[in-house]
Amino acid sequence: MKGFSAPRLFFQAVCCALAIFSAVAVSAQNPPEDAPVLISQPGSTRALTARPTGKSFDFSPKTVQAGRNPRITFFVTNLALLPDEGANAFRVDLQDAQGYRYPLQVLALEPLADRPWVYALTVRLHPLMTNVGDVLVRANWRGMASNRVRLAIGFESRKPEDDAGAVPTPMPDKPPVTTPVQNVASLPWAGDRVRFIEQSTFGPNAALEMRLRRIGFSAWLNEQTEEKRDANGALRYSTYPYPNLPLMPQTPSQTCTGNCLRDNYSMYPLQKWFFRETLYGEDQQLRRRVSWALGQIWVVSGRETIQPSRMVPYVQVLDRNAFGNYRDLMREMTLNPAMGNYLDMAISTQQNPNENYAREILQLFSIGLYRLNQDGTVQRDAQNNPIPTYDQSVVNGFTKVFTGWSFCVQGCPNSQPGIVNYKDQMVLTPANHDAGEKQLLNYPGAVSIIPAGLTADQDFEMALDNIFYHPNVAPFVSKILIQQLVTSNPTPAYVGRVAAVFNDNGQGIRGDLKAVVRAILLDPEARGNLKTDPDYGHLREPVLFVTNILRPLNPVSVATAGGACSNQSDGYLNPATIVLDQDVFNPPSVFNYYPMTYTLQNTDLHAPEFGIFSTGTALKRPNFVNQMIFGGGIGLSSDASCGTQVSLARWQSLAAADTTGALLVDTMNTEIMHGSLSPVVRGHILEAVQAVASTDSLKRARTAFYLVATAPQFQVQR
């Protein structure tokens, strides 16, 4: 590793990259440059590569031969790695002259002995890759994309052309200045603050942004997760009281029509409450967001539950445990009557067992179908097949465990004749419980068989412990929560860091969701600079799309609604999300509004929310924006006693203050797009703004907001 020189050019590249960022970051303080740098040959952008030979490297091959020697080592620097951050913290891809991009399997990451600030990054080309000539290679780390370097596969070629501004990045002789990880998670950069808000709430507004600026991420997380009490001193898990609705007869009475049906046999009251929580529930934003995410794991649908009064206790289980322990959530959910009805546990008896709940608690709520490594990657056997976590005998075993539990018909606080009790936890009828031996999950340390003859309660707790202590639970749950809050395709390292906190919150406690949420939101892959990894981020699901648009625009009731509404929206927003295929609390099946495993066409990338984004729903997003921005909002109706409209006054004043439109667009870039608009997109918006007469500041504000909120760059939160 001798003879490398010219670190000067390397630092030039860093400066150049900084200059680009300063053009888009509006905050007074620029984010630090913390992207990885792939090392090139001294005088060109061609990659410095080597062939791994076991203990050292062979630098002689100039080209890589596809199919024969698919392993190749690159060199990367400008990293400040965490102690256990290794190969699984990196994603590497290459792009050929045709524009196709291929993922590469990352095999190893090792610091060089003589230059510990440089790492050897060894990858494998796909065996089916052919000799295509030059390609451009990039390494992504914590959502940051490196520079791209050229690699010749088979032969050198002119195309593809280098990225604009690419310069040689030769081997550095001294360590680069990097950002310590603790600083990444507490950046005083406006863009990261807004992005943090997008990941942890239902959207930014001025007060929330100011609060974060004053107290920082960590204190804000404490503030949100601390206990809150109502006027009577009772613990409070929502800002507004839950709809207080009576349990109704299974079949509506003949006189119950119209509003009676709507209020007692549809999710309407609960949906309105939910949207008001998202719009105005400032002291419960994080809890609401986490509860909403957990509800997309532990799915119960109003389509089968029918009565909103029956769904409230289910929502309360989610809310109560959002910062609690996953084991408590498992227990309370399993005994929740709405869940018992939805997945048939309430009708499962020794005499007539029903497998539904047993199957789904394993597949969807806890461990999934395949054995996972702690970083969430799937374990495979010698034939490269994924290894199943359980078989039918285990489903049979858990089915027996869950027999005998049903609605509390009498003796519970809410038992009443002729009304199914969906308010109290389900209770046991011992005669309906199967006391036989039960096969549970088998893994190291597990008690995998329940002997015959134990009590139903003993069976129940042993079985839930058997699931809870399965090694899959931490990576399975952690990954879904990351996907819900931050990004559809977290690196395995990110999943691994969060899973480790799930396994042990630092005080020896497993399943502490408060610690897990904190770990997700403060992780360097969630925080820091603008994310440049092309695969970063997630599509805003319809609920987030709608609330993320409304919250920054101070949603209020329509003017004619009067003082009875306290100037607030009534929360009648479900019509906006239902046309986007997200009917709140009415998911089509236990597989949620969209499957977490949905894969984007032509890729190997997860994109769960794209499961409900299609040609059929794509134009309904801009149409909602149009309705709110140009169309006066959601007017009064028999279902909307207050209506919903937005205020553009602040944006209008920005438009009036600067007739070039730049102040308007740049402020929107900071506050709505967390500084991520490219100069080109900014230019397109500015051009459209300038096409409106400068005297019509309202229309200028509307035009700018419409274009931001309808942009694909806004649909995808990154």
**Residues from 543 through 602 that contact another protein (CB under 8 A):** 581, 588-591, 595, 597-602
Q: Are strands 118-124 and 101-111 parallel, antiparallel or unpaired?
A: antiparallel
CB of 647 to another protein, least distance (A): 19
Q: Which residues contact 303 (CB under 8 A, 6 or more apart)?
A: 586, 587, 588
**Binding residues for another protein restricted to 325-344, rule: CB under 8 A:** 344
Indicate whether 351 belongs to the interface with another protein (CB under 8 A). yes
Applying CB under 8 A, does 256 fall inside the site for another protein? no
407 binds another protein (CB under 8 A): no
251 binding another protein? (CB under 8 A) = no
Q: Which of residues 24, 194, 612, 701 is near another protein by CB under 8 A? A: 612
Measured distance CA(557)–CA(550) in Å, rounded: 12
| 692 lines the binding site for another protein (CB under 8 A) | yes
Between 86 and 368, name the residue whose CB sits nearer to another protein: 368
Query: In this chain, which of 110, 161, 173, 687 binds another protein, going by CB under 8 A?
Result: 687
219 vs 619 by CB, closer to another protein: 619
Question: 19 exposed, middle or buried (CB, 10 Å; 0-12, 13-18, 19+)?
Answer: exposed
CA distances from 104 to 81, 324, 462, 525 (A): 21, 39, 43, 20
Under 8 Å between Cβ of 517 and 323? yes
Collapse the DSSP code of 92 into the 3-class scheme (helix H, G, I; strand E, B; otherwise coil) and give the result. strand
Q: Which of 618, 647, 653, 660 binds another protein (CB under 8 A)?
A: 618
Among 183, 554, 567, 617, binds another protein (CB under 8 A): 617
Q: What is the DSSP code (8-state) at residue 431?
A: G
Residues 244 and 646: their CA atoms lie apart, in Å, by: 29
**Separation between Cα atoms, residue 432 and residue 350, nearest integer Å:** 5
| Residues 480-499, interacting with another protein (CB under 8 A) | 488
CA gap 625, 718 in Å, rounded: 20
Spatial contact of 36 and 141, defined as CB atoms under 8 Å apart: yes
**Residue 534 in the binding site for another protein (CB under 8 A):** yes
Looking at 102, 265, 468, 469, which residue binds another protein (CB under 8 A)?
102
> Closer CB to another protein, residue 141 or residue 706?
706
For another protein, which residue of 524, 685, 697, 705 counts as binding (CB under 8 A)? 685
Least distance in Å: CB of 306 to another protein?
A: 13
Q: According to the binding rule CB under 8 A, does residue 707 interact with another protein? A: yes
Distance (Å, rounded) from C-alpha 177 to C-alpha 412? 65
Binding residue (CB under 8 A) for another protein from 32, 216, 622, 635:
622
> How many residues touch another protein (CB under 8 A)?
89
16, 347, 419, 662: which one contacts another protein (CB under 8 A)? 347
Q: Of 28 and 382, which has the nearer Cβ to another protein?
A: 382
Q: Which of residues 137-166 bind another protein (CB under 8 A)?
A: none
* 124 binds another protein per the rule CB under 8 A: no
694 is a site residue for another protein (CB under 8 A)? no
DSSP per-residue string spanning 216-258: HHHHHHHHHHS--B-TTS-B---SSPPP------SSPPTT--T
Cβ count near 670 (within 10 Å): 20
Looking up tokens 């670190």 gives 7
Regarding 611 and contact with another protein (CB under 8 A), the answer is yes
- CB contact at 8 A, 160 and 136: yes
Of 282, 355, 465, 504, the residue at the interface with another protein (CB under 8 A) is 355
CB of 490 to another protein, least distance (A): 14
Asked if residue 688 binds another protein (CB under 8 A), the reply is yes
Q: Is residue 410 close enough to count as binding another protein by CB under 8 A?
A: no
User: Which one, 142 or 288, has the nearer CB to another protein?
Assistant: 142
CB of 155 to another protein, least distance (A): 18
What is the length of the chain?
Answer: 718
359-388: contacts with another protein (CB under 8 A)? 359, 363, 369, 386, 388
Retrieve residue 82's tokens: 């965490």
State which of residues 410, 614, 638, 695 lies at the interface with another protein (CB under 8 A). 614
Element (H, E) at 553: none
Contact flag: residue 356 with another protein (CB under 8 A):
yes
Q: Does 354 bind another protein (CB under 8 A)?
A: yes
Q: Does 250 bind another protein (CB under 8 A)?
A: no
| Of 409-417, 466-474, 643-651, 706-714: span binding another protein (CB under 8 A) | 706-714
Q: Residue 216: CB partners within 8 Å, gap ≥ 6? A: 186
Piece of 177-185, 251-259, 350-358, 464-472 that binds another protein (CB under 8 A): 350-358
69-98 residues near another protein, rule: CB under 8 A:
93, 95, 98
Candidates 250, 257, 566, 623: give the one binding another protein (CB under 8 A): 623
Nearest distance in Å: CB 222, another protein:
32
Written as six digits, the tokens of 269 are 């009251």
Judged by CB under 8 A, the residue of 630, 649, 653, 657 near another protein is: 630
Give the separation between CA 112 and CA 320, rounded to whole angstroms: 49
Spatial separation of the C-alpha atoms in residues 22 and 29, rounded to whole Å? 9
CB of 534 within 8 A of CB of 103? no
| The token pair that represents 581 in the structure block | 């295929």
Residues numbered 29 to 48 that lie near another protein (CB under 8 A) are none
Task: Answer yes or no: are the C-beta atoms of 576 and 624 closer than 8 Å.
Answer: yes
d(CA 399, CA 653): 63
Give the type of residue at 161.
E
**Considering beta carbons, is residue 54 or 127 the nearer one to another protein?**
127
User: Judged by CB under 8 A, which of 539, 549, 553, 556 binds another protein?
Assistant: 539
Cβ atoms of 185 and 529 within 8 Å: the answer is no
Longest dimension (CA), the chain: 90
CB of 552 vs another protein, minimal distance in Å: 19
- Give the DSSP letter string of 352-381: S---HHHHHHHHTTTS-SB-B-TTSPBPB-
Compute and round to an integer the Cα radius of gyration of the chain.
Answer: 28
